[in-house]
Chain A
Amino acid sequence: MSLQPSYLPNYFSIDDILASQERIPCTFSVNVQKLGNLNPSSEETDLKAGTALELPLWLVQDLSTGRQPVVIPELPKVYKEGYREILKADASAVDLHKFNLYYFELGSYVRVFDRKSDVADTLIHAFTNRFRQLMDVIDSTEHNPTDFQRMDSLERRLFKESKESRMKLHTWLEHSTTPIETAAMVLNHKKRKRGTDL
């Protein structure tokens, strides 16, 4: 449909839920009874203080705050200094998807785990830097799938939306009209049906 709001994570947002499923390294600061099975490499019933584990972001966010934090989180390695240096050197050369599919969104959450670091600045720098390249890719008529594979989810969203509007503009300039089309979901449904009929 025509409403395409600028992306802002919300309670129901699929991307945000998937981003918050990513695992964050952390260390338990207290004993947690009965939940030993959170640690796959141990058979004990209780989780001992000092245990280091990777837990999903949503759990880490809840457990690392409050008066008595249960875990102390760390920056995931792709946000640590080494990786930040790579981004600062030449952000556009990086395969961001290999770092993390939700690199920017996840980064905006985890940056508070190390307040002294310059994660936020690095993210902004990397985004601006890569954005120019993104625009070039969108403009180019050549379709190179590896370009897309190297993008993080935010970039992929921008890519798809811009590509779509480019196509529309192109059709409009060419024919000075846009054809009325079969609704996307109807089309999809037909294709599937054809698939099962065969």
Chain B
Amino acid sequence: MFGEKAVELIKELDRCPTSLPPYNTDLVSEVNNEMRHLIESNQDDARSEEENRSLSGESLLPTIKCRHSAVIRNIRCLLAYHYNRLRVLRTMRWQFGGVLPSDIKQNLSHLEVEWLTKYSNSLAQYMRSVGEEGINLATNLKPPKSLYIEVRCLVNYGKFELNNGIVLLLKKNSRHFLPRSECEELIRQGVLEHLVS
């Protein structure tokens, strides 16, 4: 059946909605091959249909229509595969910050890397444009209830300097009472855990 491979791409995304599976170069090129084959067959048949129009004989139009429909379907799956991957990538940009972990980066195609760089840049450009000194939209994700919060360190992070100049050593399992605004990003990135009594 036509379009089976293309829909495999979509199923792959459906299976893991919050992560990014490796870019499936092989399957994408198989889909491209199927499309190329369909397009070429249709061009051939369109030509012979044109030549034989005066002759009696069966029309190839239904055949062409089927293949055309399959081409359109393949395009839709192919674009949806790439589009939804870009959606995951943009969300990752918001959640991991500017730098993606290297093992995730491996899963990107080079076009996706390019796209993400451009996206990051245009996001940064936008954030700089708001207010006098710009605004960092990646923080303040939840309405604050207190200035200081209790946190537990999940990894050996090392030194962390607060705005008031105090330097802390963030060791695994150590607990701290920190200004919310300064440690929110570390919580989002999984370095600290917010303790709620």
Listed in ascending order, the chain A residues whose CB lies under 8 Å from chain B are 1, 11-14, 17-18, 21, 30-35, 38, 56, 58-59, 62-63, 66, 68, 70, 175-190, 192-193
Contact = CB atoms under 8 A, between A and B. Distances in A.
B65 A18 contact: no
A11 B80 contact: yes
Nearest to B187: A180
Contacts of B125: none
Interface in B87-123: 88, 91-92, 94-96, 101, 103-104
Contacts of B162: none
Among all A-B residue pairs, the 5 with the closest Cβ atoms: A183-B95, A62-B69, A177-B145, A182-B190, A179-B194
Interface residues of B, number: 56
21 contacts: A12-B79, A12-B83, A13-B80, A14-B80, A17-B10, A17-B76, A18-B14, A33-B58, A35-B66, A56-B1, A59-B70, A62-B72, A63-B65, A63-B69, A175-B197, A179-B196, A180-B180, A180-B194, A183-B94, A183-B190, A186-B96
B80 A183 contact: no
Contacts of A11: 76, 79-80
Contacts of B41: 34
Nearest to B6: A17
Given A183-B189, A189-B104, A178 B62 contact: no
Nearest to B100: A189
